[in-house]
Amino acid sequence: MDDLLAARSQMAISLGFHILFAIAGMAMPVLMALAQWRHLATGDAAWRDLARRWAKGTAILFAVGAVSGTVLSFELGLLWPEFMRHAGPIIGMPFSLEGVAFFLEAIFLGLFLYGEGRISPRAHLLCGVAVAVSGTASAVFVTAVNAWMNEPSGFAVVDGVVTDIDPWATLRSGAFATQATHVVLGAYAAVAFVAMGIHAVALRRVPDDRMHRHAFTLALGMALVTTPLQILSGDLSAKHIAEHQPLKLAAAEGLFATTRGAPIALGGWPDAESRTMTGAIEVPLVLSVLATGDPDGEVVGLDSAPPEMWPPLGVVHLAFDVMVGCGSAMLAFVLWGAVVWFRSRVPGRPAPWAHRRLLFAAMLASPLGVIAIEAGWTVTEVGRQPWVVHGFLRTADAVTPMPNVVFTLVGFTSLFAVLGVVVVMLLRNLVRSSLPRGRR
C-alpha cells in the first residue's frame, strides 16, 4: 500500500468512526431535552427517567467522540501538512468556533448530569437545551470547513502563496447552507431511527413499560418531522452539486455523456473503459429533474473532463445508491408511522408503541439513517477527488512526505477498534439496565 492510499484510508476510517459520535452529539441532546421538558410539563416520572438515561448515553458518546475528534485534529497535521499550510489560515476561524461550541457542550452537559436537585428545574432544562444547541453548532462549524473544501472562496494566490484571506469566508461558502442543513437533519433522523429501534426491542419484551413507550413515541415524532425534511434538503443539495460540482453527480450516476432528459441509474456498475453502465435500471428523465428541476434539463456528464479528473466511479456510484436506498426506505417507514400515529387517535386503535408490526419494522430500520450518513459522506469526500480543496489543491499534493504511513493506519485503526468495543459494552449495559430483571 502506497503512502497516499494509506493516508486516505486512515482519514476515511477516522472520519467514518467519528461521524457516529458527531451525529449523536447533535441529536441525542435534543431528545434528552425534550424528555426533560415533558417531565416538567406533565410531572410524569417516566419522562424524568428517560431524560436521565438519554443523558448518560449522551455522556458516553460525547466522551468517546472527544477522543476521536482529537485524533482527527492531529491527523490533519500529521497526514496532510500541505493542506494545513494552504488552508489553515482560512479554516482556523470555524475550527476555533467549533472548539468554543465543544467546550460549552461539555460544560452544560456536566451541569445537566449533576445539577438536578441543585439548580432550579427551569435552569436544569435550559442546560439541556444549551447542550443541544452547542452540540449542533459544533457540527455546523465543522461542516462549514467541508463546504469550503467543496466550494473554496475568500482568498487569493500570489506566487503560490495564499493571501487576502477572509476569515469568515467558510461561513459564506455557497455550499454551506445546503450542506449544513442536510447534515443536521440527517443526524436528527438517523438518531431518531436508532432510538426507535432500541426502544422497540424493549417494548417487545416489556410492552407495559411507560418509559420505553414515551421514548418510542418521542423518537417516532422526531423521525416523522426530520425524515421528509431531510429528503427535501437532499434534493436541494443535489441541485447545488449539479451546478457547482457536476463531475461528482455524474460519477454518482455513472453519466458518461452530457445529456438532456437524463435518466437516473439504479444499481449497476460504471465501466470506465467502455463508458457505459452495466446492469443498471434506468428511470427516464429523473436525473434531469433531480439536478435541474426540468425533465428536459441538461446534466453535465463525465465527458466534460479528462478521465484523470474523474472521481473513483464505482465507489461514488455505490455509495450514492446506498444513500438513496436507505433514505427511500426511511421515508416509507415514516409514512407508515404517520398513518399508524393518526389512526391511533381513533378509539380502539393501538397506539404506535403497541403496534407490533411497526415495532418490528423499527428494529429492522434502526441502522438505516447511520448507513445513509456514512454513504453520503463517502459521496461527498470521494466524489471530490482528485481534489482535497476543489479546483485548488490536489489530494496527492497535500499528503505528507513521511514514509511508512501504513503503520499509523494500523495503529489508529486499532485504537478505534478498542474504543468501539468499549462504547458497545457501555451502551449495552445502559440499555440492559432499563429492562426488568429476567428480561435483560
161-208 pLDDT, tens digit per residue, is 788 888 888 888 888 999 999 999 999 999 999 999 999 999 998 898
- Residue range 213-258, pLDDT digits in tens: 999 999 999 999 999 999 999 999 999 999 999 999 999 999 999 9
pLDDT of 74 reads 87
pLDDT at 53 over 80: yes
Query: What are the cell numbers at 65?
Result: 467522540
pLDDT of residue 168: 85
Q: What is the mean pLDDT of residues 126-146?
A: 95
Write out pLDDT tens, residues 246-296: 999 999 999 999 999 999 999 999 999 889 999 999 999 999 998 998 999
Q: What percent of the chain has pLDDT over 90?
A: 75
Residue 73 predicted with pLDDT over 90: no
Polymer length in residues for the chain: 440
What residues does 276 pair with on adjacent strands?
Answer: 271
Nearest-10 Cα torsion for 13, 223, 218, 113: 30
Q: Is the pLDDT of residue 415 over 60?
A: yes
CA dihedral 407, 412, 417, 420 (to 10 degrees): 180
Position 166 scores a pLDDT of 87
User: Cα 337 vs. chain centroid, distance in angstroms?
Assistant: 23
What is the per-residue burial (b if ≥16 Cβ within 10 Å, else e) of 319-354? Answer: bbbbbbbbbebbeebbeebeebbeebeeeeeeebbb
